[in-house]
Structure 1
Amino acid sequence: MDIAETPTLVHTGAFAKFDRRLGRCVEAVAAVMVVAEAILLGWATTARYAFGAPLTWSDELATVLFVWLSMLGSVVALRRDGHMRLTAFIRGLSPVWRARVDALGLMLVCAVLSAMIMPTWEHVESRIISPTPVLEISEAWREGALIVGIALMLMTAIDKLIQNCTVAQIVGALAATAAAAFALHSAAPFLDGIGNYNLILFFLVLVAFCMVIGMPIALSFILATAAYLQFSTTIPVSIVPGRISEGMSHMVLLAVPMFVLLGALIEIAGLARAMISFLISLIGHLRGGLQYVLLGAMYLVSGISGAKAADMAAIAPALFPEMKKRGARDGDLVSLLNASAVMSETIPPSIVLITVGSVTGVSIAALFTGGLLPAVVGMACLAFVVWFQTRNEDMSKAERHGFGARLKLFAYAIPGLGLPIVIRTAVVEGVATATEVATIGVVYTILVGMLFYRCFDWRKVYGILVDTASLSGAILLVVGAATAMAWALTQSGFSQQLVTLMTAVPGGKVGFLLVSAFAFVVLGSVLEGVPAIVLFGPLLFPIARLMGVNEVHYAIIAVFSMGLGLFTPPFGVGFYLSCAIGRASPDDVIHNVWPHLAAMVVALLLIVFFPWISTGFL
Structure 2
Amino acid sequence: MAVHGGDDRHLAYDGFGQAGRGLRGLLHVMEAVAGLALAVDVAIVFASVIFRYFLHSPITWAEEIARALMVMLVFFGAGTVLGRSRHAGIDVIRGMMPAHWQPALIQLCCWIVAAVSAALLVTSFALMCETWHDTTALGLPHAMNTVPVVIGSFALTIFGLANALEGPRRLALGTLAAGLLVVLAVAGLKTAGLDIRPVWLLILGFLGSVVIGVPIAFALAFASLLYFLADPSLPMVIYAQQVAVGADHFVLLAIPFFVLAGIAMEKNGMSSRLIELLLRLMGRLRGGLNLIIILATALFSGISGSKLADIAAVGGIIMPAVRKTKQDPNDAAGLLACTAIMAETIPPCVNMIIFAFVANISIAGLFMAGIVPAIVLALALAIVAIWYGRKVDPSVAFDKSRSMLRLIGGAMVALVMVAMIGRGVTAGVATSTEVSAFAVVYALLVGGLAFRELSFATIRQLFVGSAAMAGGILFIVASASSFAYALTLEQIPSAMSHSLVSFGQVYGSLAFLAVATLLMIVFGAVLEGAPALIIFGPLLTPIAAQLGINPLHFGTIMVIAMGFGLFSPPVGLGLFATCAITETRFQDVVRPMMKYLAVLAVGIVVLALFPILSLWLPTQLGLN
- When the two structures are superposed, what TM-score results if normalisation uses the length of structure 1? 0.92
- Residues 127 and 138 of structure 1 are in contact (CA less than 8 Å); yes or no, is this contact kept in structure 2? no
Find the residue that maps to 1:49 and give its secondary structure.
helix
- What amino acid is aligned across from residue 610 of structure 1 in structure 2? F
- Residues 127 and 140 of structure 1 are in contact (CA less than 8 Å); yes or no, is this contact kept in structure 2? yes
2: CA distance between counterparts of 1:265 and 1:442?
A: 8
Find the residue that maps to 1:456 and give its secondary structure.
coil
Aligned counterpart, 2:489: 491
Aligned counterpart, 2:561: 561
Aligned counterpart, 2:545: 545
2: CA distance between counterparts of 1:452 and 1:488?
A: 51
- Residues 413 and 447 of structure 2 are in contact (CA less than 8 Å); yes or no, is this contact kept in structure 1? no
* Range moving further from structure 2, 569-578 or 45-54: 45-54
- Residues 261 and 439 of structure 2 are in contact (CA less than 8 Å); yes or no, is this contact kept in structure 1? yes
Alignment deviations for residues 190-210 of structure 1 (CA, whole Å, 9 cap, x no partner) = 999776xx53x3343221211
Aligned counterpart, 2:163: 160
Stretches of structure 2 that go unaligned for 5 or more consecutive residues are: 1-12, 398-402, 619-624
2: CA distance between counterparts of 1:166 and 1:194?
A: 34
Aligned counterpart, 2:477: 479
Aligned counterpart, 2:447: 449
Aligned counterpart, 1:280: 279
- What amino acid is aligned across from residue 288 of structure 1 in structure 2? G
Aligned counterpart, 2:327: 328
Alignment deviations for residues 382-408 of structure 1 (CA, whole Å, 9 cap, x no partner) = 112212212xx35588899xxxx8677
2: CA distance between counterparts of 1:257 and 1:95?
A: 38
Shift of 1:95: 6.4
Shift of 1:100: 1.5
- What amino acid is aligned across from residue 383 of structure 1 in structure 2? A
Aligned counterpart, 1:462: 460
Alignment deviations for residues 189-240 of structure 1 (CA, whole Å, 9 cap, x no partner) = 7999776xx53x3343221211122211111111111211221452222211
Check 1:28–1:543 CA distance in 2 against 1; reply closer, same or farther (3 A cut).
Answer: same
- Residues 316 and 337 of structure 1 are in contact (CA less than 8 Å); yes or no, is this contact kept in structure 2? yes
- Residues 325 and 396 of structure 2 are in contact (CA less than 8 Å); yes or no, is this contact kept in structure 1? no
2:205 is the counterpart of 1:206: yes
2: CA distance between counterparts of 1:323 and 1:118?
A: 52
- What amino acid is aligned across from residue 177 of structure 1 in structure 2? G
For residues 568-579 of structure 1, what are the structure 2 equivalents within 5 Å?
Answer: 568-579=568-579
Aligned counterpart, 1:362: 361
Aligned counterpart, 2:131: 127
Aligned counterpart, 1:5: none
Identity %: 31
* Range moving further from structure 2, 272-281 or 585-594: 272-281
Shift of 1:491: 1.2
Shift of 1:299: 0.5
Aligned counterpart, 1:244: 243
Aligned counterpart, 2:51: 47
2:382 is the counterpart of 1:380: no
- Residues 364 and 426 of structure 2 are in contact (CA less than 8 Å); yes or no, is this contact kept in structure 1? yes
Shift of 1:586: 1.1
2: CA distance between counterparts of 1:34 and 1:397?
A: 39
- Residues 262 and 309 of structure 2 are in contact (CA less than 8 Å); yes or no, is this contact kept in structure 1? yes
1: CA distance between counterparts of 2:491 and 2:232?
A: 13
Stretches of structure 1 that go unaligned for 5 or more consecutive residues are: 1-8
1: CA distance between counterparts of 2:224 and 2:193?
A: 14
Q: How many residues are paired up?
A: 600
1: CA distance between counterparts of 2:267 and 2:553?
A: 36
Shift of 1:593: 2.0
Check 1:319–1:541 CA distance in 2 against 1; reply closer, same or farther (3 A cut).
Answer: same
- Residues 282 and 406 of structure 1 are in contact (CA less than 8 Å); yes or no, is this contact kept in structure 2? no
- Residues 278 and 292 of structure 2 are in contact (CA less than 8 Å); yes or no, is this contact kept in structure 1? yes
- Residues 261 and 303 of structure 2 are in contact (CA less than 8 Å); yes or no, is this contact kept in structure 1? yes
* Range moving further from structure 2, 116-125 or 73-82: 116-125
Aligned counterpart, 1:310: 309
Find the residue that maps to 1:590 and give its secondary structure.
helix
For residues 82-161 of structure 1, what are the structure 2 equivalents within 5 Å?
Answer: 82-91=86-95, 96-134=100-138, 136-161=139-164
Aligned counterpart, 2:425: 427
Shift of 1:304: 2.8
1: CA distance between counterparts of 2:605 and 2:404?
A: 38
1:14 to 12, 18, 22: 18
Find the residue that maps to 2:370 and give its secondary structure.
helix
Shift of 1:578: 0.8
2:81 to 77, 92, 99: 77
Alignment deviations for residues 91-128 of structure 1 (CA, whole Å, 9 cap, x no partner) = 46676533221110011112222233332222222212
Alignment deviations for residues 317-358 of structure 1 (CA, whole Å, 9 cap, x no partner) = 332333334442121111001101111111100111111222
Alignment deviations for residues 169-191 of structure 1 (CA, whole Å, 9 cap, x no partner) = 11221122112212322334799
Shift of 1:255: 1.2
Aligned counterpart, 1:343: 342
Shift of 1:507: 2.4
2: CA distance between counterparts of 1:326 and 1:261?
A: 32
1: CA distance between counterparts of 2:116 and 2:226?
A: 9
Check 1:561–1:203 CA distance in 2 against 1; reply closer, same or farther (3 A cut).
Answer: farther
Find the residue that maps to 1:593 and give its secondary structure.
helix
- What amino acid is aligned across from residue 472 of structure 1 in structure 2? A
1: CA distance between counterparts of 2:366 and 2:149?
A: 31
2: CA distance between counterparts of 1:218 and 1:320?
A: 31
